[in-house]
Structure formats: C-alpha cells, structure tokens
Amino acid sequence: MSYLILVRHGQSVWNLEKKFTGWVDVELTENGQLEAKKAGQLIKKENIEINLYYSSFQLRAKNTLKIIQEELKDFKKVISAWELNERHYGALTGLNKDEMKVKIGEEKVHQFRRSWDLRPEPLDKKNPYHPINIETYKGIPLEKIPDTESLKDTYERVIKFYSKEIEHKSNENILISAHGNSIRALCKYLFNLDDNEISKLEIPTGNPLLIELENSKISNCKYLDQERAKDLLVF
C-alpha cells in the first residue's frame, strides 16, 4: 500500500479578499499559516513517511508545504513544477468575485469558476499580473505561459505532468501541495469524475486529502480534518 496526499494551500491574502488569484504570487494569511500548521500535525498523526514532496511554483503552495515539513521535521527536497499551478483566470485576475457578481451576474461568475471548458477573456500581456511580468515565472518558456485557461486547459497540463512524473512512482508515499483547480484536475483524473461532477467538487484550503493506493488503484480516501471536509462525490 502507498499513499498520495493532496493539500490545497492554506488561505491566501487574495482568498480572504475574494479576488481571482490564478498565477499571481500572493502570500498566506495568518489563518492560512495556521491551516498549514494543522495540516502538518494531522499528517504527522497518520505516521506516514513521505518519500517525495511536490509543489507548484507559487508562494502560497510552497510556503504551505514548508510549514507542513516543519511540523513533520522532514526537510527532503521539494520538486517544484509550474504545471501544478492554479488555473489562470485571464482578464478576471485581481478582480473581486462579489463585485463581478453584481457586474456580470452570479450565474456568469459561477460559470467562469466552475465550468469545464469556458475561458475568461485573455489577460493583457502589459498587465502587471500577467505571468510574463512576474519574476517567479522567468524560467518558463514564453510559449508555455497562458493568457487565460479553462479548467480543461488546467487539467491537461496538470495530468500531463502527473502521468509523466508521478503516477509511475506507485511504491512511494507522495505529498502534493497545490491549488483548488489543480487539485480538482487531479481528482477528476484519479476518481474518473465526469465534466458535470467536477463542477461540483470544492477543495477546502489546508485540509489534507489522504488517498490510499493498492496496486495503483484507490482503495480509500478521506479528509484528515473531518470538521472541514467537503463532499468527495466518491467513497
């Protein structure tokens, strides 16, 4: 048996401010740091030795994982991959979700957030929030950096990376620190969810999802913080 642990980063500054964040690099709030600390404590109670750690390129995921490792007293090297980044929200980036509900309607905002293949308008490359203007992404080839993404686009880059770099390591215990939509993409793949089911899946911040694998097949899964668990749609 092996384990895969998926952790959405703790609450970020823009989560708190209800902004579309996407690829913008923002820090954790104090509450987000506490969520990450509790995540580490919950993982520690499971007494699982983590063999490999993965994170997106983004600070909120990296810092969540750093806090978790501090709780585990385990400082193995972290493999960072931009492919695990949050979905790029295009022209919505930096805008307030509640204000956009008033401006374009709640249903349209819900479609942008939860639909499978709907992309927001592209973000202007001159915008300071565009990834080409953010130092974190200077090492990524320009042709790989999106102007906007649907969940389908996010799924394709996340699963391409997962299939190539992680899936075959079936005897290792692996922890991935990532984002709401990149983890939703992984869940769609792992649990074979259809396009409608994935639109209903909500990933809580800082709550480890522990997946048990036998012969590369999922035998069980659970959120470690049951008080903050969301429906898994499976199991």
Which single residue is written with the structure tokens 């992309």? 119
Catalytic residue, candidates 9, 88, 130, 179: 9
Between CA 23 and CA 190 the distance in angstroms is 24
User: Is the pLDDT confidence value at 235 over 80?
Assistant: no
What domains can you pick out in the chain, each with its CATH number? 2-88+149-228 (3.40.50.1240)
User: Is the pLDDT confidence value at 114 over 80?
Assistant: no
**Size (the chain), residues:** 235
184 pairs with which residues across the strands?
A: none
* DSSP3 helix / strand / coil % (the chain, rounded to 5): 45, 15, 40
Decide if 130 is catalytic.
no
Reading the block at residue 175, the tokens are 């922890």
Decide if 86 is catalytic.
yes
Sheet with 174-178, edge to edge strand ranges: 78-80, 52-55, 174-178, 2-8, 209-214, 217-223
User: Is the pLDDT confidence value at 233 over 60?
Assistant: no
Q: Hey, is 3 helix, strand or coil?
A: strand
Do residues 24 and 56 make contact, with C-beta atoms less than 8 angstroms apart? no
Q: What's the average model confidence in pLDDT over 199-224? A: 90
Percent of the chain with pLDDT over 70: 97
Do residues 218 and 193 make contact, with C-beta atoms less than 8 angstroms apart? no
Q: What's the average model confidence in pLDDT over 115-132? A: 95
User: 203: closest CA among 35, 13, 2?
Assistant: 35
User: Is the pLDDT confidence value at 224 over 80?
Assistant: yes
Angle, vertex CA 59, rays to CA 93 and CA 76, nearest 5? 150
Catalytic residue, candidates 86, 88, 149, 179: 86
Between CA 106 and CA 4 the distance in angstroms is 35
User: Is the pLDDT confidence value at 151 over 70?
Assistant: yes
Amino acid identity of residue 61, one-letter, is A
- Separation of CA 70 from chain center: 20
163-207 pLDDT per residue, tens: 999 999 989 999 999 999 999 999 999 999 998 888 778 899 999
Q: pLDDT at position 204, please?
A: 93
